[in-house]
Structure formats: structure tokens, C-alpha cells
Amino acid sequence: MSTEPRYLIRLNPVDLLTLSGVLSSTAAMALSLAGEPLLATALLFIAMLGDALDGMLARKYGVERPFGRYLDGFMDVLIYLLAPALILFGHGLNGAWALSLPVLIASGCIRLSVFNDIGNIQESTRRGSRPAYLGMPVFWSLFLLLGYWLACYLLPELWPNVLMTVSLLTFSHAMLRRRPFFKFTALWQILLLTLGGAALLIGLRLGLGPIPLWQMG
């Protein structure tokens, strides 16, 4: 009788939390296609909460393994690169502006591949050392997306796309820089950033209505 496992790998609860990024990112893309980019972005912020918690839980319960790191990297591609690019392309950043999107995706994939190889680094400070990222982390794409929607409400036509294109190219360059970037480690920081971002986007949608028509592609 064969003793080989039936499936490639046995998933643990933390792996399932990581995989929830598939549901949240695809739901966000569906919302975008339905004409709700703000709610789509809010859902990505919720996905970012799951992405932040899975690593913390894996360390707490001693279930860290290389598989989890690679799985997390694939979810990062969905949540922070592909989904934001689709949302932006469908709601304003299209035509020639869209040339910045493949640069974003390629730079993010390179940065994530390096992270899968070396993990976090230790940054020296006056108080000792602390965990840090090598290269700007990909999750900042969601904060750029949030800034883009704010610009669409506040600035006249054309300017949001100009600012976003410059920001995406600058961000892409920063992801490839060999220098340390700050890592949020406190739970309160993570909750504030993720849930606060989602609440702000939902508030914008409910309070100010849809993105101005001229900015909808």
C-alpha cells in the first residue's frame, strides 16, 4: 500500500489565510469591472490585512516554511501589482499613461523574487537594529492608488494621471534600490493602515459619490 501523500502539500490554517488573497483580489477586480474602483481598492486594503497577519501568525505558531513564503509572494503579485494595474487601467490610467503599469509589475516581480531569496534584513539604528525591507515593499502600491482617487476628486483633468505616472515610475525605481525600507511590525500600525485605508475609501464612495466621469477612462 502506497504511503505517498495524495496531494502536493498539506495546507495549514495560515496557508488558508494567505490564500484568502485570491478571493479578495479577484473580487476587487470584479468590482472594478462593475464600475466601483473605490470599493475595489477598499477590498485590496482588507486583503493587505490578511497578508500582514499570515506572517505574524506563522511565526507565533511555529509553522514558517519556504512554501509559505513562496505562496505569500504569489498573493503579493495579485494584491499589489495585477489588481491595482487592472483597476487603474479601467478607470483613468489608460492610453499612453498605461505604459507605467508594466514597469510597475516587472519591478514588483523582481523585488518579490529577491525577497523570496533573502527575506527581511536588519537595519542598523541608534537604538540597535530592527527588521527592514531591502527595496521598497510592493504594498505601497495601494497607498499610491488611494492617493490617485483623492487626486481625481481634488485636481482638474490630466493632473491625476501626470502625478500617478510619475509616482508609479518613482515607486518602481524604489522597489529595485538596494537600500533598507521601514517595516511595520506593530499590530496597531497594521490595523490602522489597512482598516483605516479601507474605511477612508468607503467613506469617499458614500460621501462624494463615484469618481468624476472625465476620469473614468
64 — phi, psi (to 5°)?
Answer: -65, 140
Cβ neighbours for 82, distance < 8 A, ≥ 6 positions apart: 25, 105
Domains, the chain, in order of start with CATH, read 13-215 (1.20.120)
In the chain, the largest separation of any two C-alpha atoms, in whole Å, equals 71
As beta bridge partners, residue 134 has 180
- 104's enclosing H/E stretch is helix 100-118
Write down the pLDDT at residue 41: 97
Positive or negative, the Cα torsion across 52, 55, 58, 60?
negative
Question: In angstroms, rounded to a whole number, what is the distance separating the alpha carbons of residues 213 and 217?
Answer: 8
pLDDT band at 214 (very low <50, low <70, confident <90, very high): low
pLDDT in tens, 59-95: 888 888 989 999 999 999 999 999 999 999 999 898 9
Question: In angstroms, rounded to a whole number, what is the distance separating the alpha carbons of residues 215 and 217?
Answer: 6
57 — phi, psi (to 5°)?
Answer: -70, -35
- 180's enclosing H/E stretch is strand 180-182
Write down the pLDDT at residue 20: 95
The pTM of this model reads 0.93
pLDDT in tens, 100-145: 999 999 999 999 999 988 888 887 777 767 888 999 999 999 999 9
Residue type, 144: L
Write down the pLDDT at residue 125: 72
- The strand ranges marked E within the chain are 121-125, 128-134, 180-182
